[in-house]
C-alpha cells in the first residue's frame, strides 16, 4: 500500500476539502502514480486523526471526478491517465555564457583564490568574539578601514586615513548612495565621460539622473568641454577610461582638479580596474591629488569577484557624515564576515599575492589578444593602454557594429559594441574582454571575430577603406 503524506491542518477546518485537494494535487502532480493503491479509509483516517467518514467522502468525490477508481477486492487505486505530463525542461538560459566569451570587464572567476579566502575566513572567525557577529559600524569595521587606508595609500597614492575610508557593497552602491546624498543638498547636474560604462549610465538613470556626456580623446576627458556643461558632479575613470582604455593625462588631471576647485563641483573617481596595469606602474589616483574635491570608489569586483559585493569609498570630510547616514539606512552595513575576511587577507599579504599572480596571467592574455587582433584584423586599431580586463578595438569607418556583434553571436562568440555606451555618435568599436579565456582560446575567438567582421561586410581583414 502506498505511504501517503497528506498535509491536513485541523485548525483550518473543512477537513474533507483539505484532504480532497491534497490527494487531487498528488495525483495531478504525479506523486501518486497511475495504479497506485491508496490506504484503506480506516487506515488513512487513523493516520491523520480524522473520522473515517471524512476519508470515505473524499475518496467518493475523487472517484466521481475520475482521479481514483474503486476496484472490488483491492481497495481504491489511482486512475490511469490523469497525471499531468511531467514539467518540461526549463528553457535554455538566455544569459548562458557563449562558448567564446569576450565580454569586457569580467575577471577570471576560476582564478578566485578559494583556499586563501577560506583560510582567511577561518582565521577571522576563529579570532572574532561572539559580539562581532552582531551589526558592525555601518561605515565599516575599524580593522578593514585601517587596512584599506594603508593599501590605498601604498598602491593608489590615495590620501586617506582609516576615518576617511567607508566600506561599501561595491562601486554601484557607492554611486547610488552618493546620488541620494547629493540630491538632498540641492539640484545637481551630472556629467559622464562619453562613451562610458552602460551599467553606470543605467544606474544613474534608475535614480532619475540624466547625465550629460563629455567627449573623451587620447588624453581622457575633455575638461574644457566639461566646464561648458555647467556640471556639478562628474564621473570619471582616470586610471583606465571605460571603455576607450586611455589614461587621463597629467595636464588634464590638473585642469580637472582646478575646474572642480573653482566651480565647487565634485569629481567621482571610479577606480574600477586600477589594480591591473601591465606596461608600467599604475598612475596614482586623483583623490590623492585633491582629497577635498574627489570621491574615490573601488571594489573587489575586478580583482577578486563581483559576487563578494565588497568595495570602498573615500570621501571629502564634509560629505562623509551624510554618506555614512545613507549607508546605515540603506543596509545597516556591509557583511561583517566578508569584511573580517578581507581585512585578514590584506594584513596577511594574501591579497597582494593574488594580485601578482593574476596580473601576470592577464598580461599574457592581453598580449595574446592584441597580437591576434593585429594579425587577423590589420585594418582595426587596438587603442588605450595595456591595463584592466578589456581592450578597445576601433573598427574601420563604416563598419556596422551591431552586424558584427550579431555575426559573432552566430559563431557563439560574445563581444560588446561600444555604440550603446555612447551619448553621442562615434566611430564603430568593440570592447573586448580578455580576463576569462586562456591565450589559445583567445586566438580562436579572434579568428571567429575576423569571420564575423567579414560576414558583416566590414573591411577589417584587408585594410582601411
Ligand atoms: C566602469 C565600471 N565601474 C564599476 C564597476 C563595478 O561595480 P561594482 O563594484 O558595484 O561591482 C564596473 C563593473 O562592471 C564597471 O565596469
pLDDT tens digits, one per residue of 43-86: 999 988 999 999 999 999 999 999 999 888 888 999 988 877 66
pLDDT given for residue 459 in this prediction: 67
The answer to whether 39 and 78 have CB atoms below 8 angstroms apart is: no
CA gap 431, 244 in Å, rounded:
8
**Beta-strand relationship, 416-417 and 165-168:** unpaired
- Best mutation site among 106, 109, 172, 297 for ligand 1, i.e. most ligand atoms within 8 A of its Cβ? 172
* Atom of ligand 1 lying closest to residue 197 CA: 1
Mean pLDDT of the chain: 94
**Beta-strand relationship, 233-236 and 413-414:** unpaired
CA gap 110, 305 in Å, rounded:
10
Read off the pTM.
0.80
Q: Measured between alpha carbons, how far is residue 87 from residues 62, 84, 95 in Å?
A: 23, 8, 22
Which residue is closest in CA terms to ligand 1's atom 12?
272
Rounded to the nearest whole angstrom, what is the distance from the C-alpha of residue 179 to the centroid of ligand 1? Answer: 16
* Atom of ligand 1 lying closest to residue 270 CA: 3
Sequence-distant (≥ 6) Cβ neighbours of residue 250 within 8 angstroms: none
pLDDT given for residue 53 in this prediction: 95
Which residue is closest in CA terms to ligand 1's atom 1?
197
- Best mutation site among 109, 199, 384 for ligand 1, i.e. most ligand atoms within 8 A of its Cβ? 199
pLDDT given for residue 465 in this prediction: 40
- Best mutation site among 175, 270, 275 for ligand 1, i.e. most ligand atoms within 8 A of its Cβ? 270
pLDDT given for residue 89 in this prediction: 59
Nearest of 187, 185, 140 to residue 165 by alpha carbon: 140
Buried b vs exposed e over 131-164: b needs ≥16 C-beta within 10 Å? Answer: eeeeebbbbbbebbbbbbbbbbeebbebbbebeb
Rounded to the nearest whole angstrom, what is the distance from the C-alpha of residue 84 to the centroid of ligand 1? Answer: 46
The answer to whether 139 and 174 have CB atoms below 8 angstroms apart is: no
Rounded to the nearest whole angstrom, what is the distance from the C-alpha of residue 93 to the centroid of ligand 1? Answer: 24
Which residue is closest in CA terms to ligand 1's atom 13?
105
- Best mutation site among 103, 104, 105 for ligand 1, i.e. most ligand atoms within 8 A of its Cβ? 105
The residues facing 221 across adjacent strands are 216
User: Rounded to an integer, what is the distance from CA 439 to the centroid of its chain?
Assistant: 24
Which residue is closest in CA terms to ligand 1's atom 7?
171
Reported as type and span, the H/E element at residue 294 is strand 294-299
pLDDT given for residue 94 in this prediction: 61
CA gap 170, 464 in Å, rounded:
41
Rounded to the nearest whole angstrom, what is the distance from the C-alpha of residue 317 to the centroid of ligand 1? Answer: 24
Q: How many helices (H) and strands (E) does the chain have?
A: 14, 16
DSSP three-state, residue 445: helix
Q: Residue 401: left if φ>0, alpha if ψ -120 to 50, beta else—which one?
A: alpha
What lines the ligand 1 site, CB under 6 Å? 105, 170-172, 197, 199-200, 237, 242, 270, 272, 299, 301, 306, 311
CA gap 353, 435 in Å, rounded:
18
Instruction: For 5-40, write each residue's pLDDT tens digit.
Output: 777 888 888 999 999 998 998 888 888 888 889 999
CA gap 12, 18 in Å, rounded:
9
Nearest of 449, 443, 421, 417 to residue 431 by alpha carbon: 417
- As to burial, measured by CB atoms within 10 angstroms (0-12 exposed, 13-18 middle, 19+ buried), residue 304 is buried
Domains of the chain as residue ranges with CATH: 10-78 (1.10.10.10), 100-104+353-455 (3.90.1150.10), 113-348 (3.40.640.10)
Rg (CA), the chain: 30
Which residue is closest in CA terms to ligand 1's atom 14?
105
pLDDT given for residue 464 in this prediction: 44
State the residue for C-alpha cell 582564478: 111
Give me the tens of pLDDT residue by residue for the chain, a chain 465 residues long. 666 777 788 888 899 999 999 899 888 888 888 888 999 999 999 988 999 999 999 999 999 999 999 888 888 999 988 877 666 656 666 667 789 999 999 999 999 999 999 999 999 999 999 999 999 999 999 999 999 999 999 999 999 999 999 999 999 999 999 999 999 999 999 999 999 999 999 999 999 999 999 999 999 999 999 999 999 999 999 999 999 999 999 999 999 999 999 999 999 999 999 999 999 988 999 999 999 999 999 999 999 999 999 999 999 999 999 999 999 999 999 999 999 999 999 999 999 999 999 999 999 999 999 999 999 999 999 999 999 999 999 999 999 999 999 999 999 999 999 999 999 999 999 999 999 999 999 999 999 999 999 999 866 776 544
Nearest of 236, 212, 208 to residue 225 by alpha carbon: 212
- Best mutation site among 103, 104, 107, 171 for ligand 1, i.e. most ligand atoms within 8 A of its Cβ? 171
DSSP H helices, 377-434, are 401-410
The answer to whether 255 and 222 have CB atoms below 8 angstroms apart is: no
DSSP E strand stretches across 303-384? 311-314, 381-383
* Atom of ligand 1 lying closest to residue 173 CA: 10
Q: What is the DSSP string of 177-227?
A: HHHHHHHTTS---EEEEES--HHHHHHHHHTT--PEEEEEETTEE-HHHHH
Instruction: For 146-202, write each residue's pLDDT tens digit.
Output: 999 999 999 999 999 999 999 999 999 999 999 999 999 999 999 999 999 999 999
Main-chain dihedrals φ then ψ at residue 443, nearest 5 degrees: -60, -45
CA gap 429, 356 in Å, rounded:
31
Amino acid at each position: 500500500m502506498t505511504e501517503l503524506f497528506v498535509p491536513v491542518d485541523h485548525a483550518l477546518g473543512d477537513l474533507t476539502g483539505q484532504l480532497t485537494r491534497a490527494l487531487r494535487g498528488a495525483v495531478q502532480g504525479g506523486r501518486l502514480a497511475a495504479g497506485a493503491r491508496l490506504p484503506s479509509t480506516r487506515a488513512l483516517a487513523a493516520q491523520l486523526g480524522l473520522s473515517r467518514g471524512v476519508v470515505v467522502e473524499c475518496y467518493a468525490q475523487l472517484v466521481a471526478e475520475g482521479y481514483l477508481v474503486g476496484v472490488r477486492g483491492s481497495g481504491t487505486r489511482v486512475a490511469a491517465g490523469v497525471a499531468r505530463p511531467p514539467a518540461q525542461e526549463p528553457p535554455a538560459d538566455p544569459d548562458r555564457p557563449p562558448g567564446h566569451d569576450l565580454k569586457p570587464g569580467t575577471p577570471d572567476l576560476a582564478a578566485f583564490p578559494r583556499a586563501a579566502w577560506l583560510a582567511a575566513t577561518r582565521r577571522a572567525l576563529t579570532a572574532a568574539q561572539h559580539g562581532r557577529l552582531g551589526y558592525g559600524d555601518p561605515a565599516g569595521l575599524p580593522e578593514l578601514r585601517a587596512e584599506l587606508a594603508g593599501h590605498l595609500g601604498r598602491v593608489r597614492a590615495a590620501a586617506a586615513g582609516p576615518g576617511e575610508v567607508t566600506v561599501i557593497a561595491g562601486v554601484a552602491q557607492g554611486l547610488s548612495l552618493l546620488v541620494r546624498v547629493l540630491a538632498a543638498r540641492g539640484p545637481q547636474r551630472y556629467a559622464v565621460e562619453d562613451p562610458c560604462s552602460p551599467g553606470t549610465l543605467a544606474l544613474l538613470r534608475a535614480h532619475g539622473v540624466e547625465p550629460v556626456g563629455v567627449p573623451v580623446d587620447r588624453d581622457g576627458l575633455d575638461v574644457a568641454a566639461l566646464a561648458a556643461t555647467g556640471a556639478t558632479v562628474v564621473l570619471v575613470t582616470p586610471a583606465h577610461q571605460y571603455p576607450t582604455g586611455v589614461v587621463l593625462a597629467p595636464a588634464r588631471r590638473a585642469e580637472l582638479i582646478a575646474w572642480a576647485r573653482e566651480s565647487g563641483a565634485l569629481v567621482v573617481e571610479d577606480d574600477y580596474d586600477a589594480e591591473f596595469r601591465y606596461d608600467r606602474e599604475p598612475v596614482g589616483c586623483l583623490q590623492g591629488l585633491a582629497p577635498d574635491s574627489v570621491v574615490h570608489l573601488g571594489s573587489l569586483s575586478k580583482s577578486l569577484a563581483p559576487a563578494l559585493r565588497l568595495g570602498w569609498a573615500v570621501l571629502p570630510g564634509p560629505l562623509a557624515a551624510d554618506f555614512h547616514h545613507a549607508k546605515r539606512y540603506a543596509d545597516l552595513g556591509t557583511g561583517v564576515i566578508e569584511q573580517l575576511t578581507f581585512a585578514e587577507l590584506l594584513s596577511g599579504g594574501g591579497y597582494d599575492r593574488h594580485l601578482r599572480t593574476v596580473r601576470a596571467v592577464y598580461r599574457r592574455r592581453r598580449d595574446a589578444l592584441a597580437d591576434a587582433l593585429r594579425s587577423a584584423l590589420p585594418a582595426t586599431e587596438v587603442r588605450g593602454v595595456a591595463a584592466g580586463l578589456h581592450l578597445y578595438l576601433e573598427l574601420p569607418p563604416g563598419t556596422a557594429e551591431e552586424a558584427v556583434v550579431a555575426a559573432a553571436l552566430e559563431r557563439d562568440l560574445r563581444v560588446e559594441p561600444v555604440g550603446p555606451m555612447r551619448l553621442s555618435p562615434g566611430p564603430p568599436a568593440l570592447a573586448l574582454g580578455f580576463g576569462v579565456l586562456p591565450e589559445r582560446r583567445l586566438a580562436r575567438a579572434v579568428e571567429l571575430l575576423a569571420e564575423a567582421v567579414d560576414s558583416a561586410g566590414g573591411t577589417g581583414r584587408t585594410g582601411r577603406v
